[in-house]
Amino acid sequence: MINNVKHYTHDSNMKYDDRKNLDSVHERLSLRESLLVYFIGVIIVPVSLYLVISYNMSFHVFRTNIINSYSGVFNRTLENVNYYISTR
């Protein structure tokens, strides 16, 4: 118990910067954790951004093509109906 009190008084006498450095040593990431953070930051985030952007661009291209296709089909049907009515 006396050792704990001595340790506590020693810690309380430390400067703030010394305590901050001591805490940062205890909070360092292991090699596995740091590799995981780098993997997420370097690979997962850019690939996710690429997927979102390419999905949005593809969606708009497909939507435009479908609208144009329906418009063409509608115009052809209208022409066929007009031709049918005029020849009758």
Domain ranges of the chain: 2-87
Structure confidence at residue 56 (pLDDT): 97
Structure confidence at residue 28 (pLDDT): 84
pLDDT digits (tens, 9 = 90+) for 21-41: 555 555 788 899 889 999 999
How far is C-alpha 33 from the geometric centre of its chain's CA atoms? 20
Mean pLDDT of 3-27: 55
pLDDT digits (tens, 9 = 90+) for 40-59: 999 999 999 999 999 999 99
Residue 31 is which amino acid? L
**Residue 84, pLDDT above cutoff 90:** yes
Widest pairwise Cα distance in the chain: 112
Element (H, E) at 40: none
Structure confidence at residue 88 (pLDDT): 83
